[in-house]
A and B are shown apart, each in its own frame.
Chain A
Amino acid sequence: MSERQSRLGDLNVGIALLWRVLVRYRRIAAVSIGGALIWMSMVVWVPYLVGRVIDAVVSGSGMSNVWPLLGLIIVAGAIQAIGISLRRYYGFKVSYRAEADLRNEIFTHIQRMAFSFHDVTSTGELMARASSDLSQLRLILAMAPITLANLVMFFVVTVVLVIIDPVLGLTAALMVPALLLTSGRFASRVVGFSFDLQQRLSELSHVVEETVSGIEVVKSYGQQAQQQKRLDDKAETIYDAAMGMAKQRAIYRPLFEIIPALGTVAVLLIGGIRVVDGAMTFGEFVSFTQYLATMVLPLMITGWFFANLPRSAAAASRIDALLATAPEISEPRRPEHLKPGQGEVRFNSVSFAYPDGASVLKDVNLVIPGGTSVGLVGATGSGKSTIAHLIPRFYDVVQGSITIDGVDVRELRLDELRSEVAVVFQESYLFSASIEENIRVGDPMASDDRVRSAARLAKAHEFICEFADGYATVVGERGSTLSGGQRQRVSLARGVVRDPRVLILDDATSSVDAIVEAEIQEALKQVMAGRTTVIIAHRTSTLALVDNVVFIEDGRVVAFGSHDELLETVPRYSEVLAADMGAIA
């Protein structure tokens, strides 16, 4: 019951969105509707003219009266054709334009949604919004103009029929409500199934997506058969939903032909008797049959329109819900600017928890003096990456505040903040583009020289030059055609080229060998000079580089000081790193 209500609520939201879209493209929509009306106004003449021809024939008045009528029919046909053309072209244009624009809007919106949103929203779900939901919406938009014209036509035809012969006219006009009611019933029967179908399609798509992106795991555990079974099961549930729909369709679809045919029977019966009685002419009788024939398709289309409206409105309401979700990280109303400074980062009693998790950071107080470097050390899952993500404001702190050179990060415009705070993520995500483009993500304006020197600092230049296409080498999705260490170095170069006030390296050399790591460390000295650098690392060699180390346990800062100091004074610190120290005899 409540599900039904919420569905109806969704419908209203969806229809409101559809309406807004139509209003937004009112010019194009108007041309399309105009075309539809031209078509309609011509089409209604044809049966009348046919009736006149028949009357002329029956009364035996000769062909000279017939030819002009035939001419008129062809003229009406020609104008009608122009109407159809306008209606179709501009109808498509509205619908495709709306689809494309909304898709852009959705994409832009997704780009602005905060990490916390993406943490809990699957890729497939967002893909569905921007693909299948949108095409559902487009279908209904494309049909809107003709449906409007059809409704007008039903009204006009009814009036014409009643004028020609009130009794027969009213009888024949009964077909309109009969058909519309039938299609309404059909729609309400089918809507549940179509929701299910949509749902199951997206579940299937999820199985495919996961299989494709996790194919290495699938193959290494030989789970092809299981994966196949999961897919087959989903396909089977799709079958069930589709057949549920098909059953209703089998019951109702034929009615869309039978009902008009019953109208024809009524015309034959009542009209025939009235012609015999002399109450109407034979030509009028023929006009009636022609009107009925003319109305069949428009009635079916209208029925189709209303049958699909709930599904499209539901899709529209899902899109609306997505677009209406405001990014959790919002721009400040009255933004401040960064003060000149060396990039002092300060955590003031910061507490943080992920929306669904236990608290991760507890009352963290920390001052990283501008221009110095600091290492974050702590066990797996202790909250190092979380700290790294709070500084550029990927998440907002739950309590306390973080400042950069004295300005709260929440008071800064996001692009200003993030252009001065760069993170090299723990996971090296590369786009399927050239290596150069991937580095330039850090700074699209960077000169070739700067791109190359960043790559050199990240020890990426050498291997890039060994590729046949050098910097133009296009890498696979997520960088899949590079080795782990190569990927990591490209991603490091991306951070370096950004040249920010605060640079955060989250385990950025975990996948490179000792020699390259040492070279990178050497190069990092240059990058770190005069820049606030936060380095998350487990390697003592890296920690020896930094001015200070922050030791984190259980979301708390338990020690702060130089590496050597901590080694001496904090036993847990040495324990955590012990395995890394003096390991090789």
Chain B
Amino acid sequence: MKYMSSAGDYKVDRPGRLVGRAGRIAPDLKWPFVGTVAITFVATIVRLLGPLVIKGGIDQGITEGDRQVIVTAAAIFVGLLVVQYFAAAISQWSVAVIGERYLVRLRSVVFSRLLRLDMGFYSRSKSGVLVSRMTSDIESLQEFASEGAAMALTNLLTVIGVAVALGLVDWQMALAVFVVVGVLLGVSVIFQRQARRAYDQVRERIGRVLATLQEGITGVRVVQAFTQEDAQASTFGRVNERYFDANMDAARAISWYFPVVALLRVVALAAVLGIGATRVLDGSLTIGTLVAFLLYLDWFFQPIINLSNVYNLLQSALSAMAKLFELMDEPVVVEDRPGAHDLTEPVAGTVVLDGVSFSYEPDTPVLFDVSVAVDAGERVAIVGETGSGKSTIAKLVMRFYDPTVGTISIDGTDLRDLTERSRSDTLALIPQDGFLFSGTLRENIAYADVSAPDEAVWNVMRAMGIDDWVRSLPEGLDTEVRERGGRFSAGERQLVALARAFLSDPAIIVLDEATSNLDPETEIQVEGALRVLLSGRTSVVIAHRLRSAERADRVVMVDAGRVIAEGTHDELVERSAKYQELVEVWRRGTK
């Protein structure tokens, strides 16, 4: 898979680059972020003063037997707590604002990249995986933003602050602690390496679980029709189990690391007590300092444990980020060239394919040197065997792909020099399977122009002769069509797709077997509508029913990716043996 390989750069083992790039998505959040760090810093400092107050209370109050000092110390402590509360609340709040704002941006950026990617990318990718980028991956960032980020920041600052405080209070005990922490750091490096691998796998495999799940749902009717429920379930079970295994790998890493941290914490405690006790006994340390030190010690290890606790959130977030960058690094193949312009109005609607060759996969060409010129207002039919490349021509005209060789132009402008806007205003494709979005019938018909008045919608439907049908629906235009238009019969779906295209009023319309599921009577009706609604417009009609070819101004016959004949129906009947055969067979069938 081509698109997988471009990802290498942002593997999670380079968190620095990842974070740097992540930051560039929302540079305007930089200063708010700095402000947040500052307020968090204040909260941390205030917090760290606490044990010092206790030390004072012990050394000057308890040891000296002075109750007044104890009361004063307690009062100061409460004062500090009030300040700490507000500073911490503000810090929490602002971390959330920044995180959530960032996610709004990120969702937008990733989605806009998704929208720009070409159809080749979409047919290579599993839609479940693409959706999981925008959902489960970004949600894991969200989880980090809401649960982890504030925690990470506070604890990081606390660890640094406490380290300084420990050193200031008593460097000898601090040294013992730092030795233990050194060991801890070494252990953490090993853990991280192991966990990172596990979490990357987890991300990878959850994508697969979701994709399999999705196919199990969208294909459920076929599964049931062929009683493959058990087979399907066992396939899913395997994929699911692999995800479980990946999770358990991560769990194993966590399950040795955290106990070791807890053990080291106790070792540090014992070391401090050992050194501290010796020194209090020989009088070089006050008991208050020892107690304060013990309190700090808790505040030292606790944040480290907290950090490890949010580590898996962080790790998932980083893995997710890497996956997102992978997507954002997908090259945009089909894009407006610099200097792209709109067509000049009014659009005449000539379409010219000039020496077009194309292949979906590098070494299996589908079209060879196809040249076709469609005049403004002309109606051209493309006929040919199934799989000969007719739909491919239609897709190229829509610029779902760019030709490998040759050019396609509209009114003399290369498609690549045309803005996306202008192109989609000018062209409409009605594909083989009329896709409907879930939503109401109205929303689907007025898809290209949500503001279209009902009157316009009804006009189109009247012209097509489907107004009675719509009226007969219990909720008329407000009928919910459901996923992919599942509420309707196949022919009804095609009618809706046609109505949608007619309403968008394009200068050039491409019909790719858009009426294949209609009964002949309805088809005739639709063709009548086509003539009325599209009079004077250019149309390219792909159809297997030769009736359409017969009515077209010109017929283009495609065979195995080549244009083998071109002319009016009558001309072709005379000139082309292949076409003759086709007509022959067709005629036999209609007797």
Contacts and interface: CB of A to CB of B under 8 A. Distances in A.
Contacts of A483: 386-387, 390-391
A211 to B, nearest CB: 7
B590 A63 contact: no
Interface string B343-368: 00000000000000000100010000
Nearest to A577: B520
B305 A218 contact: no
Nearest to B216: A107
Interface centre among B57, B78, B472, B519 (most CB of A within 10 A): B519
A64 to B, nearest CB: 11
A126 interface: yes
Interface stretch (A78-86, A147-155, A167-175, A403-411): A78-86
Contacts of B244: 96-97, 99-100
Contacts of B258: 84-85, 88
A357 B479 CA distance: 10
Nearest to A229: B108
Contacts of B263: 77-78, 80-81
Interface stretch (B69-77, B161-169, B184-192, B531-539): B69-77
B227 A584 contact: no
A514 B104 contact: no
Given A96-B247, A484-B432, 13 more contacts: A66-B277, A100-B243, A104-B240, A127-B213, A223-B447, A231-B111, A235-B104, A236-B104, A238-B100, A276-B65, A426-B490, A577-B520, A583-B545
A58 interface: yes
Nearest to A259: B81
Summarize B's interface: helix, strand, loop or mixed. helix
A4 interface: no
27 contacts: A57-B276, A74-B270, A80-B263, A81-B262, A84-B262, A99-B244, A104-B237, A107-B213, A119-B486, A131-B206, A211-B111, A211-B115, A212-B127, A213-B127, A217-B447, A221-B448, A232-B107, A235-B108, A239-B101, A250-B96, A253-B88, A290-B298, A444-B231, A463-B386, A514-B546, A577-B521, A579-B521
Contact of A123 (B114, B214, B247): B214
A272 B516 contact: no
A476 B123 contact: yes
Contacts of A37: none
Given A100-B243, A217-B437, A276-B67, A507 B490 contact: yes
A62 interface: yes
Contact of B111 (A228, A253, A381, A541): A228
A478 B435 CA distance: 13
A226 interface: yes
A542 B589 CA distance: 8
B319 interface: no
Contacts of B84: 254, 257-258, 261
Contacts of A427: 433, 490
Contacts of A380: 489, 491-492, 495, 517-519, 522
Contacts of B134: 204-205, 208
A119 B70 contact: no
Contacts of B217: 110, 118, 123, 126-127
A212 B482 CA distance: 16
A541 B584 CA distance: 13
B587 A584 contact: yes
A15 interface: no
Contacts of B177: none
Contacts of B405: none
A185 interface: no
Interface in B302-338: 302, 305-306
Nearest to A247: B93
Interface stretch (B21-29, B408-416, B421-429): B421-429
Given A209-B131, A297-B305, A515-B582, A273 B90 contact: no
Contacts of A264: 50, 54, 77
Given A216-B400, A250-B90, A507-B517, A463 B387 contact: yes
A167 B127 CA distance: 64
Interface string B380-409: 000111110011000000101000000000
Nearest to A290: B294
B4 to A, nearest CB: 15
A231 B277 contact: no
Contacts of B427: 220
Contacts of A419: 227
A213 B128 CA distance: 10
B266 A73 contact: yes
Given A358-B474, A381-B491, A431 B428 contact: no
Interface string A192-224: 000000000100111011111111111111111
Contacts of B145: 242
Interface centre among A100, A239, A255 (most CB of B within 10 A): A100
Given A515-B581, A583-B550, A540 B589 contact: yes
B590 A580 contact: yes
Contact of A540 (B65, B431, B513, B591): B591
Contact of A242 (B100, B150, B390, B516): B100
Interface in A496-538: 498, 507, 510-518, 521, 538
Interface string A244-267: 011101110111011001101100
B100 A249 contact: no
Name the 8 nearest CB pairs between A and B, nearest first. Answer: A222-B424, A485-B386, A77-B266, A541-B589, A380-B491, A246-B96, A92-B251, A579-B520
A131 B287 CA distance: 55
B273 A50 contact: yes
Contact of B273 (A70, A243, A381, A423): A70
A417 to B, nearest CB: 9
B194 interface: no
A60 B281 contact: yes
B220 A110 contact: yes
A254 B139 contact: no
B35 interface: no
Nearest to A475: B123
Contacts of A130: 213
A3 interface: no
B588 A541 contact: yes
